[in-house]
Amino acid sequence: MERFGQYVVRFRKTISLLWLILLIVLGYFAVQLPDQLKGNGFTRDGEFQQVERILEQEFTQDPHQIIVLFEGDDEIIEQEMNRHVTAFRTIEGVGQVVGNKENPEALKDGKGYVSVGIPDIEPSWVKAVQDKLDPQDGSTIRLTGEPLIVDDLNTASKNDLVRAELIGVPAAMLVLLLVFGTPLAAVLPLIMGLVTFIFGAGTLYFIAGQQELSIFVLNAVAMISLALGIDFSLLYVNRFREERTAGRSITAAAEVSVATAGRSILFSGICVFVGLAGLLVIDVDVFQAVAIGTLVSVLGAVISAVTLLPALLALLGSGLEKGRIFKADSEQGEVRWRKLARFVMKRPVAITLFSLLLLLPCLIPLRDLELNIPQASALPEDYESRLAFEAWEKTFGDDGTDAVVLLKADFQTEQGLEQLEALTTRLEADEGVRGVVSASSLAEANGLEVTQVAATEQGKQQLASLIAFENGIARVNVNLTGDPGDKASQEWVREIREQGYQVGGPAAFNQEIYDEIYSKMPLALGLVLLATFIILLFAFRSILIPIKAILMNLLSLGATFGLLVILFESGWVFPAETIGILTPVFIFSLVFGLSMDYEVFLVSRMEEYYEETGDNDIATEMGLAKTSKIITSAALIMIVVTGAFAFTGVSPIKQLGVGIALAIFIDATIIRMFLVPALMKLFGHWNWWWPGGRTKRKIKVH
């Protein structure tokens, strides 16, 4: 890294100019990224998608529907529904339009709905339907359905990002001013955070053209960009100022900072990269999309931190101390941190037990953790598409199709039709089933056998929506007693699939998503832990330090998830709601990497002092004194930036922001201030044991 630092400083003007050009180009595309994000990302190419394709091909089922909800007097809204069905069918390219004539259950209790089938979720379809709306006196009309909910989620996410930045960025600026005392030193980390975001968002614009990216990518990229951009800058600027205080020239200080802080940033970035890469193991589009988005941001943060930042400091180094607003008290601060380190190391057993007493009880609520897939309830409560969906669900939600079972047989024969009758009878007797609609049940409702109806061409046409006679496929629509997302419904789908049937519908969708996440999480977790252990192993040339770091991270994350259950599911702090299935996975991936970020900053400095003095106690004390201010400041900035999302409206984003803020708070206080120095004291020189002995590095500490 020493030679690399020399090159960066030597070509600082060229590097700065190249970055300026790159940021102008990427910035142009970054502002267009939100328009390229589509859907919530909960899709995967599994059996559910295979069934959906069969339903589209054989039964002309439309991939997406807009729900038009009518409210008022039954007679008035029946007339309104019939009139609008005729109008909707005139829209060019529209699919099936189903009203109360085709579905008698679509009108009851002063509400009725028309479903309009569309080929995709482009906003143009919503506009086309809206243009046909013509409500008369005595009725109201509202729209909902996946296309509107997804579009509103995108809009709400963008609004939430702006709202969070308006709270978080000024708060971060204040913290940076208190830390560094001068305007330039304070604003530089924010600039680097912005640079990282532009790099990530601009690059993702081109990726979005090749594959669909979830609307949740935008906020995740903003969080990780600000976090790493500011964290890396804090570490680097602090080291640069230390070297300048020690008497080095601007260029020499920049070179040494690359060799020391730059090395820490490199290993930190690799740890964060590995933590996020674990998401790629989960074959669900939203995890793949967020993983790609955040990995690009991590790459941008590391590259800019080891090239652009030292180049800027070499150019502007003399201005870092100009215009001082707050008096620097670095020596006083170091004294206080050294006192804290001594206090902890004098009573390591008591401090360790105290820390565990604080964290272990937080694990208890984990047994009550309930996860959900974000839908309309993820939107702010005042959004029209959510209000309309909840009104529709309250009246018609129990009458829908929760699962579609496909039966393959030769339905031109009596034997095939008897198989359909047998399956229908068996499903109707199932305790988990509320109702069944099939060709057999339809014939029975008319007092006939399905074989009688299918004996004529006219009868076959009547059953065409339920049996594809030519290709030998029948669909059985099942309404389950439970919610399609609950555990009982998922287990029902698994049992039917084990019997050899293909199953689609909402229950199958939920079952596949949950099973994919739960089955792949151990692998993702194992790969992340193993890779992190190997990285830290060679970063610190120590066996024990990586093991301790991983165990402490897992403990703090477990405590965070337990606290999230209390905050959200109990209803004591936020309105009672289950935790979005995105939240724990994203928090683990983001925070695991960020916590290792802080671990690398802290232990790297301890290692420098240990190599110079050979004294573990001095190394622990001085490492804590030199880095705690920066780590605490970085953590505080992360807390205010991500905690600002607690005031946003999209539920998964709110949970994610609160969760990250909590995890960082626990890590920066209980873990870094108490547990790390206590354990460093307890294990003494064993902390630094390495097979074959250690070799000293060249850079000396100050």
Contact by Cβ (8 Å): 403, 492? yes
- CA distances from residue 352 to 148, 347, 569, 662, 679 in whole angstroms, order as listed: 52, 9, 30, 20, 7
Residues 586 and 439 in one domain: no
CA–CA distance, 603 with 619 (Å, rounded to integer): 9
The more confidently predicted of residues 25 and 254 is 25
Residues 582 and 664 in one domain: yes
The more confidently predicted of residues 128 and 288 is 128
Residues 317 and 341 in one domain: no
- In the chain, the N- to C-terminal Cα span, in Å, equals 18
Among residues 471, 539, 631, the alpha carbon closest in space to that of 266 is found at 539
Residues 321 and 358 in one domain: no
- CA distances from residue 626 to 365, 613, 701 in whole angstroms, order as listed: 37, 16, 11
Residues 194 and 340 in one domain: no
Give per-residue burial for 231-261: e unless 16+ CB within 10 Å, then b.
bbbbbbbbbbbbbbeeebebbbbbbbbbbbb
Contact by Cβ (8 Å): 679, 555? no
CA–CA distance, 699 with 702 (Å, rounded to integer): 10
Contact by Cβ (8 Å): 587, 560? yes
Q: CA-based Rg of the chain, rounded to a whole angstrom?
A: 30
Residues 440 and 572 in one domain: no
Contact by Cβ (8 Å): 640, 646? no
- The confidence band for 184, taking pLDDT boundaries of 50, 70 and 90, is confident
pLDDT recorded at residue 85 = 92
Task: Evaluate if residue 123 carries a pLDDT over 70.
Answer: yes
Please report whether residue 159 resides in a domain: no
Residues 683 and 575 in one domain: yes
pLDDT recorded at residue 66 = 94
Looking at mean pLDDT, say which of 384-393, 572-581, 597-606, 682-691 comes out highest.
384-393
pLDDT recorded at residue 511 = 92
Task: Evaluate if residue 59 carries a pLDDT over 80.
Answer: yes
pLDDT recorded at residue 426 = 93
Residues 634 and 585 in one domain: yes
pLDDT recorded at residue 391 = 92
pLDDT recorded at residue 330 = 59
Q: pTM for the full model? A: 0.82
> If you average pLDDT over residues 376-393, what whole number do you get?
88
Alpha carbons within 13 A on the beta-carbon side of 543? 8
DSSP 384-405: HHHHHHHHHHHHHGGGS--EEE
pLDDT digits (tens, 9 = 90+) for 327-340: 655 566 678 888 88
Task: Evaluate if residue 660 carries a pLDDT over 80.
Answer: yes
pLDDT digits (tens, 9 = 90+) for 154-182: 888 888 878 887 888 888 888 888 877 88
Domain with residue 279: its CATH number is 1.20.1640.10
Task: Evaluate if residue 39 carries a pLDDT over 70.
Answer: no
**Domain end: 149, 172, 193, which one?**
149
Q: CA triplet 535, 538, 540: central angle to 5 degrees?
A: 105
pLDDT digits (tens, 9 = 90+) for 434-453: 989 999 988 888 888 888 88
Across the chain, how many H-helices and E-strands are there? 25, 12
> If you average pLDDT over residues 121-142, what whole number do you get?
88
Residues 275 and 352 in one domain: no
CA–CA distance, 96 with 65 (Å, rounded to integer): 9
**Host H or E run for residue 38:** none
> If you average pLDDT over residues 121-137, what whole number do you get?
88
CA–CA distance, 697 with 187 (Å, rounded to integer): 33
CA–CA distance, 568 with 145 (Å, rounded to integer): 26
Please report whether residue 393 resides in a domain: no
CA–CA distance, 285 with 273 (Å, rounded to integer): 19
Compute the Cα dihedral for 512, 515, 518, 523 and give only its sign: negative
What phi and psi, each to the nearest 5 degrees, are found at residue 541? 50, 55
**Domain end: 267, 290, 325, which one?**
325
Residues 193 and 227 in one domain: yes
Residue 598: domain span? 329-368+541-702
CA–CA distance, 542 with 267 (Å, rounded to integer): 15
Alpha carbons within 13 A on the beta-carbon side of 658? 23
Looking at mean pLDDT, say which of 143-152, 352-361, 525-534 comes out highest.
352-361
> If you average pLDDT over residues 283-311, what whole number do you get?
88
Please report whether residue 50 resides in a domain: no
> If you average pLDDT over residues 606-623, what whole number do you get?
87
Q: CA triplet 320, 326, 330: central angle to 5 degrees?
A: 75
DSSP 483-551: -TTSHHHHHHHHHHHHTT-EEESHHHHHHHHHHHHHHHHHHHHHHHHHHHHHHHHHHHT-SHHHHHHHH
Contact by Cβ (8 Å): 132, 104? no
- CA distances from residue 313 to 240, 260, 686 in whole angstroms, order as listed: 8, 15, 38
- The confidence band for 40, taking pLDDT boundaries of 50, 70 and 90, is low
The three-state (H, E, C) secondary structure of 420-488, written as one string: HHHHHHHHHCCCCEEEEECHHHHHHHCCCCHHHHCCCHHHHHHCCCCEECCCCEEEEEEEECCCCCCHH
Please report whether residue 415 resides in a domain: yes
pLDDT recorded at residue 156 = 85
**Host H or E run for residue 202:** helix 183-208
pLDDT recorded at residue 701 = 42
Phi-psi region of 110 (alpha: psi -120 to 50; beta: other; left: phi over 0): left
> If you average pLDDT over residues 650-672, what whole number do you get?
88
- The confidence band for 290, taking pLDDT boundaries of 50, 70 and 90, is confident
Task: Evaluate if residue 695 carries a pLDDT over 90.
Answer: no
Alpha helix positions (H), 307-383: 308-316, 330-346, 348-359
Q: CA triplet 114, 119, 122: central angle to 5 degrees?
A: 95
- The confidence band for 583, taking pLDDT boundaries of 50, 70 and 90, is confident
Among residues 135, 67, 140, the alpha carbon closest in space to that of 103 is found at 67
Burial class of 14 by CB neighbour count within 10 A (0 to 12, 13 to 18, 19+) = exposed
Please report whether residue 378 resides in a domain: no
Alpha carbons within 13 A on the beta-carbon side of 261? 27
pLDDT recorded at residue 699 = 46
Compute the Cα dihedral for 154, 156, 162, 165 and give only its sign: negative
Q: How far is CA 210 from the centre of its chain?
A: 21
CA–CA distance, 547 with 89 (Å, rounded to integer): 64
Q: What is the tally of structural domains in the chain?
A: 4
- CA distances from residue 65 to 62, 118, 129, 458 in whole angstroms, order as listed: 7, 6, 11, 29
Among residues 624, 662, 628, the alpha carbon closest in space to that of 645 is found at 662
Residues 657 and 698 in one domain: yes
> If you average pLDDT over residues 314-329, what whole number do you get?
76
- The confidence band for 591, taking pLDDT boundaries of 50, 70 and 90, is confident
CA–CA distance, 276 with 287 (Å, rounded to integer): 10
pLDDT recorded at residue 91 = 94
Domain with residue 128: its CATH number is 3.30.70.600
Please report whether residue 158 resides in a domain: no
Please report whether residue 379 resides in a domain: no
DSSP letter at 219 equals: H
- Encoding tokens for residue 159? 């609004």
Domain with residue 423: its CATH number is 3.30.70
Residues 565 and 657 in one domain: yes
State what percent of residues in the chain have pLDDT above 70: 97
- The confidence band for 702, taking pLDDT boundaries of 50, 70 and 90, is very low
pLDDT recorded at residue 476 = 93
Task: Evaluate if residue 462 carries a pLDDT over 50.
Answer: yes
